[in-house]
Amino acid sequence: MRASEWAALVKLSLARDKRFAVSSAFGITVGVASLVFFVGLGLGIGKLLREKVFPVDARLVEVVPPKLALGGLLGGGTIDETTVKRLSELPGVAQAFRKMNVRVPAVSRYDGDFFGRPLRMGLEVLAVGVDPALVKGDLLLGDFKDPGPSQPIPAVAASRLLEIYNKSFAPARGLPNLTPQLVTGLMIPVEFNRSFVTSSPGGTVTASQLQLVGVSQRGLLAGVTIPLETAKRINRASGVDAETFTAVTLLAASPGDVPGIVSAVKGLGLQVDDEEQQLAQNAAAVVVLITAAMALLSGLICLLAAVNIAHALAFAVRARARDIGIMRAVGASQADIRNWVLGEAAALGLVGGVVGTMLAIGAAVGIDIWVTRALPPFPFKPETFFDWPAWLWGAGVLLGTVAAFLGAWGPGRQAARIDPAAALAG
Amino acid sequence: MIEARGVSRSYSDGEGGALRVLDAVDLLVQAGEFVAVVGRSGSGKSTLLHVVGGLDAQYQGEVTVAGQRLTGMNDAALSRFRNQQVAFVFQSFHLMPTLTVADNVALPAFFSAAPVNRTQGTLAALQRVGLADKKDRKPSQLSGGERQRVAIARALFTAPKVLLCDEPTGNLDAATGDAVIDVFRSLNREGLTILAVTHEERLRDAATRVLTLSKGKLS
């Protein structure tokens, strides 16, 4: 049988029994809809975690001094320039970025206009100095280098901090939402060698200004990121360690180089701070687990739908035995009959797969709209909780078609084996 | 046109034994003949028709129809044979109730190896039996005689070499049956070979040769 005639016959036979077609496609539709919905949700949540909540760059390795080391007791266990040089020469390392905390407390006392609203607050400020190259891609204003004493210090804020401010802090206090462009240039007063929570460390309190010059995913989450030379200068002026580094961020040439770098770092007696990666991995694992469970459940629905199609088609084949006999009499082969039954099922599966996929996407759009309207803003609240890669669309349609096709395999063979002479006589 | 030699066919009797309905049957039908095979119900007439029509391959013996040796043919080849060389007309019409008259007539086109002009072929076949104006009706909207004429139109759609008729007037009243027999006569006069099995005298009288099937033997 030619393909065009096969398609015409399938269309004709489905059109003559619409109730059978609708009831058979319904199960497939439900199964595919639930599968596509849950997988889309899992992918969306995973993407949210990866890109917003835990924006971990898979090529970065954070190296810190060991928490407890014999070398530390003897004066070793630190990261100095020599160690940084050795780290930067490890195989697979493309770049090494030094980090040094400002090792004296600092506070900010803000009292003035804040984007058109009066704001008065005081808070402890944590600051880390980094090699400018680490954040240069996110700078929106000026150079990221030490400006020298009595000049505003360029500072980069963490993008997640801005998100928390916008979705949690600002709404509760009637403050405006801010974008990276808006906050760029903002001046924040800061006093080094002062603390609200600990006794005075001694030394001279130095008043300065922080000027925000950008927002970066690589910025310190609970503080500000400033140029490394500025941190050194402040530490030196305060009489604290200005030579050893708090951490070194290594940029691997590719994610595949990371395991080797981690191993080499540990071989040098240093530690890798992968707390953030672990959090991200744990969260991702939970999402994958839940998504897999839901997908399994949906797969079972599809399996049940396939069984339903098998039963419905087996019944239909028995009911159509005379029609099959007629078709055999006018020239249908066993293969034609089998392909006709399989074609009917595949068409039902195709329609069920397409409708199911569209239903899943429709439900997702509905949920996104509801969340947008009904839920208050919260940190990392996405525009959508779903992700729809092209392969998921294809997989939904393919699953429906394959499930129906498999369900029809037995009835198709059964139909092909019908004795036409007996069917016509009966 | 039809040559069957030593054809035997048995069915299970349901009690472990075999019921032989055709017993070494020999049949020779020349091209252009109108042969009627008569016999009592259950004598094996339909079985003989199914064997020479390629619907039943579970027989012993040799069968050649329209120059094609059916014995040993695989299913695909037998199906092509049924589609192109022979056509059936049944007592119960065997039309698809949910299809229109036109779709029923064009049913063989679905299984044709070569593209077929469905519209033209359907119209020509329906005109041949005088039902061109009823092509969009469903079989349930037709009389018994009209349904059988639709079945004949379906048989003519592929221009077969042999028409195989299984009690074609069995479900028709006398007048309607006569009209259908007239169609067969006309087709035979145009050169179509017809093998009809029947127990009706009218059809037997229309045939150019009559054979009797009794106790599995043809005489």
CA distances (Å), origin A39, targets A295, A298, A342, B187? 7, 10, 28, 65
The answer on A358 and A302 residing in a single domain is yes
Chain A: closest CA distance from residue B42 (Å): 12
- Establish how many alpha carbons lie within 13 A of residue A387's alpha carbon, considering only the half-sphere containing its beta carbon: 15
Last residue of a domain, which of A216, A243, A269? A269
The answer on A408 and A321 residing in a single domain is yes
The answer on A307 and A231 residing in a single domain is no
**Residue B79 and residue A332: Cβ atoms within 8 Å?**
yes
CA distances (Å), origin A20, targets A23, A317, A357, A403? 5, 12, 21, 17
Domain extents in chain B: 2-218
Compare all CA atoms of chain B with the CA of A2 and give the residue at the minimum distance: B113
The answer on A102 and A236 residing in a single domain is yes
| CA proximity to B173, closest of B195, B202, B134, B153 | B202
A213 CB burial (10 A radius; 0-12, 13-18, 19+):
buried
Compare all CA atoms of chain A with the CA of B95 and give the residue at the minimum distance: A326
The per-residue pLDDT for B18 is: 84
Best of A1, A324, A326, A330 to disrupt the B interface by mutation (most B CBs within 10 Å)?
Answer: A330
Task: Write the residue in B76, B98, B108 that is nearest to A330 by C-beta.
Answer: B108
The answer on A185 and A140 residing in a single domain is yes
Give A-chain residues touching B102 at CB under 8 angstroms. Answer: none
Torsions phi, psi for A102 (to 5 deg): -75, 115
The answer on A286 and A255 residing in a single domain is no
Number of domains forming the structure of chain A: 2
Compare all CA atoms of chain A with the CA of B114 and give the residue at the minimum distance: A2
Q: What is the CATH number of domain B2-218?
A: 3.40.50.300
CB-based contact A167:A381 (threshold 8 Å): yes
Q: Quick check: is A276 in a domain?
A: no
**Residue A330 and residue B107: Cβ atoms within 8 Å?**
yes
Can you name the residues that pair with A210 across neighbouring β-strands? A153, A188
The answer on A317 and A263 residing in a single domain is no
Last residue of a domain, which of A269, A292, A317? A269
Residue span of the structural domain in which A379 resides: 3-54+281-425
Compare all CA atoms of chain B with the CA of A420 and give the residue at the minimum distance: B55
The answer on A159 and A133 residing in a single domain is yes
CB-based contact A87:A252 (threshold 8 Å): no
Question: Residues A43-84: pLDDT tens digits?
Answer: 998 888 877 777 777 788 999 998 765 554 444 568 999 999
Q: Quick check: is A7 in a domain?
A: yes
Q: Quick check: is A274 in a domain?
A: no
Query: Is the confidence at residue B139, as pLDDT, over 80?
Result: yes
Q: Quick check: is A183 in a domain?
A: yes
Task: Write the residue in B46, B55, B113 that is nearest to A328 by C-beta.
Answer: B55
DSSP A139: B
CB-based contact A128:A220 (threshold 8 Å): yes
- Give the span between the Cα atoms of B155 and B107, in whole angstroms: 10
Q: Quick check: is A61 in a domain?
A: no
Q: Quick check: is A295 in a domain?
A: yes
The per-residue pLDDT for B174 is: 85
**What is the percent of chain A where pLDDT is above 90?**
47
Question: Residues A131-151: pLDDT tens digits?
Answer: 999 999 999 998 899 999 889
Read off the pLDDT of each residue in A343-370 and give the average, rounded to a whole number. Answer: 92
Side chain identity, residue A85: K
**Residue A332 and residue B111: Cβ atoms within 8 Å?**
yes
The answer on A89 and A197 residing in a single domain is yes
Question: Residues A259-292: pLDDT tens digits?
Answer: 899 999 988 889 998 777 777 778 888 888 888 8
pLDDT band at A118 (very low <50, low <70, confident <90, very high): confident
The answer on A301 and A254 residing in a single domain is no
- Give the span between the Cα atoms of A244 and A241, in whole angstroms: 7
Task: Write the residue in B47, B78, B154 that is nearest to A330 by C-beta.
Answer: B154
How wide is the angle at C-alpha A129 spanned by C-alphas A127 and A135, nearest 5°?
A: 110
CB-based contact B32:B193 (threshold 8 Å): yes
CB-based contact A80:A243 (threshold 8 Å): yes
Look over chain B and give the mean of its residue pLDDT values, rounded to a whole number.
91
How wide is the angle at C-alpha A56 spanned by C-alphas A54 and A57, nearest 5°?
A: 160
